[in-house]
């Protein structure tokens, strides 16, 4: 780690407080009044905040944080040395109404084309994943996987409000062409703070279900946490989505989650799934309750009764101290059923296709 990085980390608390004091819009909105009362009415709201199903401690003591800093200083290969190979997204407009396609843009950002609609999942499309702009820079891509801007987006889905999933600049870019948003309870206040009309936002609690243009969406539990600043920890809900397509195909978007009992419950209630998209990167021993190790993602996929698995939450940013390609290497080693798909970033593929099963593009 360079001296500049050390100075940057040392200055981080002061810069964060400075931006907070001047009410930087990146922090989003604050739930108050009748909006807050609705959050408190949720069965997930206990003792002043939202809670996980399974007990989920996170080590955040000073000693652990210093240990993390030392680990980052010693870590190797956390950033690709060459530009990551990408494919330019050439999705047609409007989408093919007779087929289902997915495109992964790196990290957890995805595009789903179904029933003639364009749906974006956790579309963090910018270069920085922190309120302090020198932290969390996107990997260098050979070319932007986006072929210009989107012409029309029928729905944008967010799993929770962390910076690497919900981004203010991405919202400002997408909102003029977006029809509607689907988010967990408490996340909508950020969108409204950034100028999104309340009429365009649907907020769900765990196990709530809504149907939009023939596609059924159920917000399902995840084992994680919410909040865009320490003082707002768990004042917004987090979750995953079970998505039943118009022809009965069933897919699961996991957002961020540690391994837990909720996967088996979701599989029993809403499975089986033709495709699961599961968090398998940016893990750390200290965060095991809220992020899965790659091998745990395989187990979660089995619990969900999944057929194919698309690993997400990797390939975009360095947010932990493991080598950048370790998530995909480890999940493939643990894959005994050849269920893992590894399309290139920006590569559009049809749901159910075996064509993108395990090309090792990261080895280039």
Q: Regarding the domain delimited by 25-363, which CATH topology (the fold level of the hierarchy) does it fall under?
A: Metallo-beta-lactamase; Chain A (3.60.15)
The residue extents of the domains of the chain are 25-363
263-291 residue pLDDT tens: 999 999 999 999 999 999 999 888 889 99
Helix extents (H) in 128-195: 168-174, 188-193
**Three-state DSSP state, 33:** helix
Average of pLDDT values for 93-113?
A: 93
3-state helix, strand, coil in the chain (%, to 5): 25, 20, 50
Residue 5 has pLDDT above 50, yes or no: no
Output the pLDDT for position 133.
Answer: 62
Q: Kindly report the backbone phi and psi dihedral angles of residue 196, in degrees, each rounded to the nearest multiple of 5, phi listed first.
A: -75, 135
Separation between Cα atoms, residue 237 and residue 240, nearest integer Å: 10
Distances (CA, A) of 99 to 123, 146, 231, 310: 22, 21, 44, 18
Output the pLDDT for position 66.
Answer: 66
**What DSSP string describes 204-265?**
E-TT-EEEETTEEEEEE--S----SSGGGTTSS---EEEEE-TTS-EEEE--S----THHHH
44-93 residue pLDDT tens: 999 999 999 999 987 666 666 666 667 777 788 999 999 999 998 888 87
Helix extents (H) in the chain: 3-21, 33-40, 62-74, 168-174, 188-193, 262-270, 294-303, 326-334
Separation between Cα atoms, residue 108 and residue 112, nearest integer Å: 13
Tokens of 127: 């270069």
Average of pLDDT values for 233-250?
A: 97
Tokens of 273: 């799934």
Which residues touch 130 (CB under 8 Å, ≥6 apart)? 136, 163
**Percent of the chain scoring above 70 in pLDDT:** 88
């Amino acid at each position: 780690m360079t001296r500049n990085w050390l100075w940057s980390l040392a200055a981080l608390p002061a810069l964060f407080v400075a931006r907070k004091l001047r009410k930087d819009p990146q922090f989003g909105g604050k739930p108050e009044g009748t909006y807050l009362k609705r959050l408190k009415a949720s069965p997930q709201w206990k003792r002043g905040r939202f809670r996980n199903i399974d007990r989920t401690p996170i080590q955040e003591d000073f000693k652990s944080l210093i240990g993390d800093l030392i680990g980052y200083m010693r870590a190797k290969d956390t950033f690709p040395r060459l530009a990551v190979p990408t494919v330019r997204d050439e999705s047609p407009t409007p989408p093919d109404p007779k087929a289902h396609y997915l495109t992964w843009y790196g990290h957890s950002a995805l595009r789903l084309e179904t029933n003639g609609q364009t749906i974006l999942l956790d579309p963090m499309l910018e270069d920085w994943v922190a309120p302090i702009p020198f932290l969390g820079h996107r990997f260098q891509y050979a070319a932007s996987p986006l072929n210009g801007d989107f012409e029309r987006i029928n729905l944008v889905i967010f799993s929770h409000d962390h910076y690497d999933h919900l981004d203010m600049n991405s919202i400002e870019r997408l909102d003029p062409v977006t029809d509607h948003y689907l988010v967990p309870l408490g996340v909508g206040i950020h969108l409204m703070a950034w100028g999104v009309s309340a009429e365009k936002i649907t907020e769900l609690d765990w196990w709530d279900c809504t149907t939009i243009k023939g596609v059924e969406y159920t917000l399902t539990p995840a084992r994680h946490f919410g909040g865009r600043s320490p003082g707002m920890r768990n004042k917004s809900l987090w979750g995953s989505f079970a998505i039943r397509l118009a022809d009965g195909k069933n897919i699961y978007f996991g957002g961020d989650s540690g391994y837990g009992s909720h996967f088996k419950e979701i599989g029993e209630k809403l499975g089986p799934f033709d495709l699961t998209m599961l968090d398998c990167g940016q893990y750390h021993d200290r965060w095991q309750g809220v992020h899965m190790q790659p091998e745990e993602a395989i187990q979660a996929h089995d619990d969900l009764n999944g057929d194919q698995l698309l690993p997400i939450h990797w390939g975009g940013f360095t947010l932990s101290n493991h080598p950048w390609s370790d998530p995909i290497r480890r999940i493939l080693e643990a894959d005994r059923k050849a269920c893992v798909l590894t399309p290139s970033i920006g590569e559009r593929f049809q749901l159910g296709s075996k064509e993108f099963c395990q090309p090792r593009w990261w080895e280039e």
